Structure 1
């Protein structure tokens, strides 16, 4: 089982000299990702022949 938790943070900057024409300016950004991956792996061998497989969701 593989568990991954990723959080992304962003920010915006209006640099000096920028010309912005607006009655109101608002910015908000959030991004979060949480993932759980499950998989099953099996293998079989006989003599010099071997087979293996993986099934994941």
Structure 2
């Protein structure tokens, strides 16, 4: 993701990368001209904060 130009008028990708980092997560963006784009967001879950219906 180092080759992404964040000097545009939008903040979408930069914001997503910053939010993932703030959540101790990982933001991966791969783009290949003529072949498409892949975006992966991995964020760890804190099991103590997950709401379960059966509780």
Question: Same fold by TM (over 0.5)?
Answer: no
- Of structures 1 and 2, the one with the larger relative CO (CA 8 A, separation 6+) is 1
Which protein is richer in helix relative to its size? 2
TM norm structure 1: 0.30
| TM-score in terms of structure 2 length | 0.31
Identify the structure with the greater strand proportion: 1
Which has the larger Rg?
1
